[in-house]
Structure 1
Amino acid sequence: MSMTMYVILTLSDVPNTNSLNELSKQLNAPVQYLENVDIKKHTGFLPVKLNGEESGVETYMSPLSEFTDYFPSFDSSGYDEPVVVTFRWGG
């Protein structure tokens, strides 16, 4: 079973994996992403350690305009260059 998570952000707020690792550390989350990956430019499999074990997640970034069918009532007026970052786990 797979799981997909969509995160809507302003393009300038899309973090790199160093920022995600710092946040994971602050939250005591057992997730560590491969260092120095720019999620704005990365597409596809991203190595991750989960509870110290090798794992991974697929990541994709697209303009919000490509997701209007998924989020028809989302008000993006407060976003400058809104994008959707997709995280997909599982098989």
Structure 2
Amino acid sequence: MADDGMSPHEARQRASWGIGIALGMGVGVAMGVALENMGVGIALGIAIGVGFAVAFGAAGRHRPPEADAEDDGAPDDAPEADGERGPDDDEPRNG
């Protein structure tokens, strides 16, 4: 018999969509009443709900650790790395 249970990832995704749509519809109905146009309020609520659902779904993801926060991509022997001036930094050229 196949495993019919949901994985934790699937359960979290379903919950994030449910929470997002519920919050969005609440905001949308309130906006519809305030604007005296329920159709526009519900449409805005669905858009807001999708935004909430995506945000809640992305909040549970783990990012891989970044390499080195101090690494700016410049080689260590570059003049800018040590605060030294390079050959083209406001110095007159001979010749």
Q: TM exceeds 0.5?
A: no
Looking at both structures, which has the greater relative contact order when contacts are Cα pairs under 8 Å and sequence separation is at least 6? 1
| Structure in which a larger fraction of residues adopt helix | 2
Whichever of the two has the greater Rg, that structure is: 2
| Structure in which a larger fraction of residues adopt strand | 1
TM-score (norm 1): 0.21
TM-score (norm 2): 0.21
